[in-house]
Structures are given as C-alpha cells and as structure tokens.
Structure 1
Amino acid sequence: MDWSAWHDQYDAADSWMARRLRTVQAQVRAALSDAPAGGLKVISLCAGEGRDLLDVLAEHPRRDDVRARLVELDPRNTAVALERAGRAGLHQVEVVTGDASLIDHYEDMTPADLVLICGVFGNITDADVEHTIAACNQLCKTGGTVIWTRHRAEPDRVPLICEWFEAQAFELRWLSAPDAGFGVGVHRFVGAPQPLRRSTRLFEFVGYDVLRQAVAAESLGRNDPTPHDQRGT
C-alpha cells in the first residue's frame, strides 16, 4: 500500500474517505471546544498528513492552547503535515517521523486531553486493537477524549471495539450511524491515568489488504467441506 497516494482519495468530495474525514474533524472540533480552559495536549497515532487535526486547529479559537504531536512513519506524509502546520502558523505542533506503535514517542505528552487513533484499527489484528485500547489509559487524562475510526465491513468490529473501550473505563460519547459507510467513535476516559510503560509496542501495522485476504481465506476454509487431507498443501 502506498500510504502517500492513499491520501489522494480525500480530495474526492463524495468519497467515503472525504466524508469520514469531515466526520472526524467535526468531532475533533467539538472535543477542543468542550475541553477545560487552559493548555491542551493532543497526540495523533499514524497521523498521515494530519488533515483531521491540522485543518481544524488552523481556524479553531483554541488553537493557541493546543500543544500537539503527530507521529507518522511515512516521511512523505510528515513532510506534508509539516508544510500544513507551518502554513497555518501552528508552531506548537510537532510532527515526528517514526513508528507510531512505540509508546515512547508520547512520553512527555501524556496524559493527553485528546488522542486520535484514526486509520489504525482497520489495519491491525483484533488482538492488537484490544491491546492498543488497553493502553489508552496511559495516553489519556481523566476526562480526556479518544477519537478512533474503523471500517464496518464484515467482520464488523465496531461493537466489539466499543465494548473494549468500556472495559477500560471509557464512556461512549458518540458513534457514527451503522449505515454511514465507515465507523467513527468518540470515547471519554473516566478512569485514572496509568504511568506510561516505556518500550511498549502497541500494535503491528499489518495493512487492510493483508487482513482482508486473511478473512477471505478463513471464510473459504469454513465453507469448504473438503477434508483437509484431500486439499493438498
């Protein structure tokens, strides 16, 4: 997958990606507006070009309250994010080219008021989704917000993701409609932040295409009545 070219789909106004982006931006805007007065910390995992946060901050009345860190592995995407932040005069935004799955990147930014996990859950295994959610109590402050996305193709994991957040003391604040064509969720942390455990790897970014192939192969195996020893190797 070319994760730089992937962003081109945002420029098609009627694409599901553009609609999802607008939805995420609306929730980012609301989270910033509803946050307590004073300085705010925002972190974004696998931030891409940073459109979900940077385009909102550029015009938000609380832009100067926000200190943000965007972590993204593809240097082409971080170059675009840096250009967008600079053009908007967002001098308190830091863009890091690095592996967003390594929790050490967020050490001095936690606990954060807003955590963005967008474009991640559809590209990692279920076990890693649950593991990442379990670590959100290290990333998010009490009363802070996590905004996340996940596709709703079968198997639809959005209901399970909500259950995993609830099990970690996150309250559901908003969820996109099942027929929206994408999943966007907003959870608020009502528990107590935990110390950040250095050197923790949150997930392995597998990729949507690889995961879909695995699901298709598993489905084929369930539906194929041929005994295993007659299938060959």
Structure 2
Amino acid sequence: MTKDWYAWHADYDQPGSGLHRRLTELWDRIREVLDHAPAGPLRVISLCAGQGRDLIPVLATHSRRDDVTARLVELDPRNAEVARKAAAEAGLCGVEVVVGDAALTDRYADLVPADLVLVCGVFGNIAEADIRTTVRHCAALCATGGTVFWTRHRREPDLVPAICDWFAEEGFTPVAVSSPADGVGVGVHRFTGAPRPLEPGVTMFEFVGHDHLTHP
C-alpha cells in the first residue's frame, strides 16, 4: 500500500510524538543558524519539503525573514499547497513552493550554493547508496560556511555514524547530531570546503519510502 504523505503530517500536531519532537529540535537549530548568519541575502533550499513545517514557522517570526529567498520542492501537490498557503499567510514573499521531484539537481540550479540546505525526512526513505550520493551532492548545494540540516532515525540499522563520516569526507564539520537516546534523529553540518559545480540533469536519489526499505 502506498503511504499517504499528506496524512503522515498529522503526527506533527501530536505533542510528544517523534515527529513533533523532531520538528521542535529542527526549529531550534534553524533559528540558531539564522541568528548567527552574516548580514545580507540568504538562500535556502528544502528537499522533499512536505508542508513546509520545518522552515516556514521559523521564518514567519524571525528577524531575518525578509533576507531569505527560499525554494521548497515537494512532489505531493496537496502538501505543496499547504506550504504555499502557510508562506502566503505569513507574508513570506521570498518563499517559493515548487511541485516536482526534489531529487533532481536542476530544481536548485539557480539558487545554489545555498546558505541553508534542508534534507529532512529523506535519509530514512532512501537506500544507503543514495544517502551517500546525496551527501556528496550537498557539497554542491551548500555554500562555504552554509549549513545542511538532515534527519535520520536512530533505529537499527543506525546509519547516522556513517552519514557523519560521509559529510566529513565532503568537507563538512558537525554542529549538532542527536544521540540515539534523544530519539529525534536530527543532524546539522556546516560546510567548510569550496562548493563544487552542481551537476545538471542528475537524480540524486530515489524516494522509495521507509516501509519499502524495511519490507521490500
């Protein structure tokens, strides 16, 4: 059975749920980065953005909101419409919501390298090889000094240590990585290298879903 990714978002509204705790952690981390970001325009991209809950509520109340140009890419048009409405209601004129395959590099070509790159809800739904490939592409998506926010569950197989190693190999340093005991699976890495050219026409990953990965 195909998962309903629109209905999946309902757990965000349940205090104490894993998604609610993950979301709260992400908000704190994004606020911290925005608080300390250098003056001037900021570029933000969000892959598999869903209803935009990771980013839009933070921008809505943040002093840097008008400095941000953001593109949220989401395949499900129902989720994209929720995100688009939320951005409009918050008056976030710089936030664009695009319906499409977030795995395609061409979706981001005119906005990279970006200062904030959100890859949330992705690494738990794609194959291990695709995670490695996506981390490699983050070195083209992210500006020097920029930050990647990512999520991955800490259940077995716990790939978070390997993901951290892959980010290190690509020139990233860890800012914060939740422990297995936290149960939220949030990672934040800052890019200290020089951005690579973004390869055009590349599919970074195939979003297959956690259920398919565990019960093929």
- TM bucket, shorter chain: over 0.9
Q: 1:161 maps to what in 2?
A: 163
Q: Where in structure 1 do 4 or more consecutive aligned residues deviate above 6 Å? A: none
Letter in 1 for 2:70: A
Q: Secondary structure of 2:124's match?
A: helix
The C-alpha deviation readout for 1:109-160, integer Å capped at 9, x for no partner, is 0000000000000000000000000011110000000000001110000000
TM-superposed deviation, 1:196? 1.2
TM-superposed deviation, 1:55? 0.3
Letter in 1 for 2:166: W
Pick the aligned partner of 2:32 from 30, 34, 41.
30
Structure 1: 5+ residue stretches without partners: 215-233
Letter in 2 for 1:24: L
Q: Secondary structure of 1:100's match?
A: coil
Letter in 1 for 2:50: G
Q: 1:192 maps to what in 2?
A: 194
User: Which whole-Å CA distance do the structure 2 matches of 1:43 and 1:112 have between them?
Assistant: 7
User: Which whole-Å CA distance do the structure 1 matches of 2:184 and 2:13 have between them?
Assistant: 17
Pick the aligned partner of 2:54 from 52, 55, 64.
52
Q: Secondary structure of 2:215's match?
A: helix
Letter in 2 for 1:119: G
Pick the aligned partner of 1:144 from 143, 146, 163.
146
116-125 or 24-33, larger mean C-alpha shift: 24-33
The C-alpha deviation readout for 1:86-114, integer Å capped at 9, x for no partner, is 00000110000000000100011000000
The structure that is helix-richer by fraction is 1
Asked if 1:175 is matched to 2:186, the reply is no
User: Which whole-Å CA distance do the structure 2 matches of 1:4 and 1:115 have between them?
Assistant: 22
User: Which whole-Å CA distance do the structure 1 matches of 2:160 and 2:151 have between them?
Assistant: 9
User: Which whole-Å CA distance do the structure 2 matches of 1:196 and 1:176 have between them?
Assistant: 29
C-alpha root-mean-square deviation of aligned residues, in Å? Answer: 0.6
The C-alpha deviation readout for 1:64-97, integer Å capped at 9, x for no partner, is 0000000000000000000100000001100000
Letter in 2 for 1:99: D
TM-score, with structure 2 as normaliser: 0.98
Q: 1:226 maps to what in 2?
A: none
Q: 1:119 maps to what in 2?
A: 121
